Amino acid sequence: SSGINAEYGDGQKSSGKISIPPPSTVAQEQTLAAWLEGLEMSELKPMLELNGWDNIDHIKGAMAREDVAALGITNEKVKKKLLDSVEADLISYQHGSVPGTVEEWLREINLTRYLSKFTAQRIGSMSRVLAIWEIELTTILGIEPIGHRKRMMKSIRDL
């Protein structure tokens, strides 16, 4: 078990060790609300969620400058702070192998709400998912939130 000796603000040392979870665990447990609060940008939460940027693990690594502009954020300092944070805390979706089913893939990227759309359009194999184009996500599957489409496309690229 990894740990560190802790010293409290009053100069006292702890008698034991404090377990520190791996960085990936800490980042995965962070919520969108907590991340935005840390950036002092809590007011962006409804706008981000409305546009499909509702999962912190999938914002980092998928959101780009044009996505921030598309949200209607015009303040350059806010844009820069948001993008700098995304880049600094970058967590890539990584999977050791291609999921066995479309349902498993959607579960891994927290988008199972779209399983019925894939099923209705007879997109039932991962080989078909791997060949999907972003335009198909809107025109065939009707997936509107840009954040959800970007999350899907990034995860496909990373497989």
pLDDT tens digits, one per residue of 118-147? 999 999 888 889 889 999 999 999 999 999
User: How far separated are the first and last CA of the chain, in Å rounded?
Assistant: 31
What is the CA 75 to chain-centroid distance, rounded? 23
Pair 99, 105: CB distance under 8 Å: yes
- More confidently predicted of 8 and 132: 132
Q: Beta-carbon neighbour count of residue 44 at 10 Å?
A: 17
**Residue-wise pLDDT tens digits, 62-121:** 788 888 888 888 888 888 888 888 776 554 444 457 788 999 999 989 999 999 999 999
pTM over 0.75: no
What is the CA 25 to chain-centroid distance, rounded? 14
Pair 63, 53: CB distance under 8 Å: yes
Helix (H) or strand (E) holding 119: helix 115-120
Helix (H) or strand (E) holding 33: helix 32-38
